[in-house]
C-alpha cells in the first residue's frame, strides 16, 4: 500500500494537469504547498514522529515537494506559451505598418558631392572661407578697382560695420594663398550673395565652386583641359564646351564657359556655367604684400582660377526650371530627388 504522502503527490499532479489557467494553477499551489497546504502540513507532523519513521517520511516529503514544485513551474510555462500563441495569432500581419519617413539629399548637395568627387580625381583639395568678408578679400586683393560697379551698394550686401556678404567665392583664392605657398590645387564650394532682383534664374543667395591651381608652369591649356574634363564627366562625354573671351579684374586672359548637349533637356541651347581665367599677376603681388614674402612670384608662378555656378549646374543636370525651388523647402519638389 502506498504512503498517504505518495497519494497526495499523485493527486497534486492530477490537479496541476487539470488547471486551465494561471489562477487555477495558483490555487493548486496554495492547496498543496501553501503555508497551510496539505504537503506542508506533513512538516509539522514530522515533529511528532519516532526517530525511525522521521527519515523515511522526510525523504518522501522532499520528493513530493520537489516533484510538485517542478510540475507547477512546467505547467506555468505551458500556460504562458499558449497564451502568447493566442495573442500572436490575433495579429494581422497584412495591416499597413506605421509609416517611416525617409529624408533624401538636397539636389544641390547631390550636385556638390558629384563635383567634389570629380575634382578629387584631378587632385584638388577642399578649401573654405567665411561668408562674411572684408572689402579687401572680396575686391581689393582681387585687383578690383575702387570704383568698380560690383562694389556698389546696389549690388553688394554691406554690414553696418563695413564688412560685406561675399559676392563670389573668389575670396577663398586669396585666403588659400595667404595661408600656404605654391603649389596650390583647391576647390572651395560655398554661398555667395548679390542684391539681384530675385527671379527664376537669380537668387540673393546662390552657390559657387571656386577653383584655384597655382604651380610653376600652369597654362590656359591646363585650364581648358581641367574644366572640359569636369564638365564632360558631369554632363556626358558628348557635351560641347565653349570658352568665350570675357573680363574679370582678377584674371587675364578671362573667359566665360558655355555648355551644350543633346543629352540635356536644353538641347541645342548654349548655357553659361562658369567664369575663369589665368590668375592676374596683380593678385599674386597683393598676396605677397599681405604675406610679407615673395612666395607667389609672378615671374616664377602662374595659375588658373574658375568659378562654377553650382545652382546653374544643378538646374541643368536635374532639369530644374526655377532657382527659387532650391530654397522653398517644398517636399513635393525635394522628394523627386530623394
**Pairing, β 205-215 against β 302-309:** antiparallel
Q: Which is nearer to ligand PHE, 29 or 151 (by Cβ)?
A: 151
DSSP 102: P
* Nearer CB in complex with ligand PHE: 177/276: 276
Based on the number of CB atoms within 10 Å of its own CB, is 189 exposed (0-12), middle (13-18) or buried (19 or more)?
buried
Q: Which of 323, 333, 279, 329 is nearest to 301 (CA)?
A: 279
Nearer to ligand PHE, 42 or 248 (CB): 248
Query: Which residue's C-alpha cell is 545652382?
Result: 311
Choice between 42 and 306, CB closer to ligand PHE: 306
Spatial neighbors of 261 by CB under 8 A, at least 6 apart, are: 235, 236, 238, 239, 240
The residue from 61, 234, 305, 320 that contacts ligand PHE (CB under 6 A) is 305
Q: Which of 144, 156, 170, 203 binds ligand PHE (CB under 6 A)?
A: 170
> Closest approach of Cβ 338 to ligand PHE, in Å?
30
Shortest spacing between CB 307 and ligand PHE, in angstroms: 3
Q: Which CB atom, from 65 or from 312, has the smaller least distance to ligand PHE? A: 312
306 binds ligand PHE (CB under 6 A): yes
Q: How far is the CB of 210 from ligand PHE (least distance, A)?
A: 6
Contact indicator for 123, 163 with CB cutoff of 8 Å:
no
Binding mask 253-292 for ligand PHE (x = CB under 6 A): ----------------------xxx---------------
Closest distance of CB 142 from ligand PHE, Å:
8
By beta-carbon proximity to ligand PHE, the closer residue of 25 and 223 is: 223
Q: With contacts defined by CB under 6 A, how many residues of the chain interact with ligand PHE?
A: 10
Q: How far is the CB of 233 from ligand PHE (least distance, A)?
A: 20
Q: Which residue is nearest to ligand PHE (CB)?
A: 307
As to burial, measured by CB atoms within 10 angstroms (0-12 exposed, 13-18 middle, 19+ buried), residue 18 is: exposed
CA distance 286 to 288: 5
Q: Is residue 168 near ligand PHE by the rule CB under 6 A?
A: yes
Question: C-alpha dihedral over 116, 121, 127, 128, to 10 degrees?
Answer: 0
Q: In this complex, which beta carbon is closest to ligand PHE, that of residue 169 or of residue 261?
A: 169
Paired with 145 in beta bridges are none
Whether the CB-CB separation of 281 and 305 falls below 8 Å is answered with no
Q: Which residues bind ligand PHE (CB under 6 A)?
A: 168, 170, 248, 251, 275-277, 305-307
Amino acid at each position: 500500500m502506498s504512503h498517504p504522502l505518495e497519494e497526495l503527490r499523485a493527486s497534486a499532479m492530477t490537479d496541476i494537469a487539470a488547471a486551465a489557467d494561471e489562477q487555477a494553477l495558483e490555487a493548486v499551489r496554495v492547496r498543496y504547498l501553501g503555508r497551510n497546504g496539505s504537503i506542508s502540513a506533513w512538516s509539522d507532523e514530522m515533529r511528532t514522529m519516532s526517530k525511525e519513521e522521521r527519515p523515511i517520511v522526510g525523504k518522501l516529503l522532499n520528493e513530493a515537494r520537489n516533484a510538485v514544485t517542478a510540475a507547477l513551474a512546467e505547467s506555468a510555462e505551458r500556460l504562458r506559451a499558449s497564451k502568447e500563441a493566442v495573442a500572436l495569432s490575433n495579429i494581422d500581419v497584412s495591416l499597413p505598418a506605421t509609416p517611416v519617413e525617409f529624408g533624401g539629399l538636397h539636389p544641390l548637395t547631390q550636385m556638390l558631392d558629384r563635383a567634389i568627387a570629380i575634382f578629387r580625381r584631378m587632385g584638388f583639395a577642399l578649401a573654405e572661407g567665411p561668408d562674411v568678408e572684408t572689402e579687401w578679400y572680396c575686391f581689393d586683393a582681387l585687383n578690383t578697382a575702387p570704383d568698380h560697379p560690383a562694389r556698389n551698394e546696389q549690388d553688394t550686401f554691406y554690414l553696418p560695420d563695413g564688412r560685406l556678404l561675399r559676392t563670389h567665392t573668389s575670396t577663398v583664392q586669396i585666403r588659400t594663398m595667404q595661408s600656404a605657398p605654391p603649389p596650390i590645387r583647391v576647390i572651395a564650394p560655398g554661398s555667395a550673395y548679390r542684391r539681384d532682383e530675385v527671379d527664376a534664374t537669380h537668387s540673393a543667395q546662390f552657390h559657387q565652386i571656386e577653383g584655384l591651381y597655382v604651380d610653376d608652369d600652369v597654362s590656359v591649356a591646363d585650364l581648358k583641359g581641367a574644366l572640359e574634363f569636369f564638365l564632360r564627366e558631369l554632363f556626358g562625354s558628348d557635351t560641347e564646351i565653349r570658352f568665350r573671351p570675357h573680363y574679370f579684374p582678377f584674371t587675364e586672359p578671362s573667359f566665360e564657359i558655355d555648355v551644350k548637349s543633346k543629352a540635356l533637356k536644353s538641347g541645342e541651347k548654349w548655357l553659361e556655367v562658369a567664369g575663369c581665367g589665368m590668375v592676374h599677376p596683380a593678385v599674386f603681388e597683393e598676396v605677397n604684400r599681405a604675406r610679407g614674402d615673395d612666395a607667389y612670384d609672378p615671374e616664377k608662378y602662374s595659375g588658373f582660377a574658375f568659378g562654377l555656378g553650382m545652382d546653374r549646374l544643378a538646374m541643368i543636370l536635374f532639369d530644374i526650371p526655377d532657382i527659387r525651388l532650391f530654397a522653398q523647402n517644398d517636399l513635393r519638389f525635394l522628394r523627386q530627388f530623394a
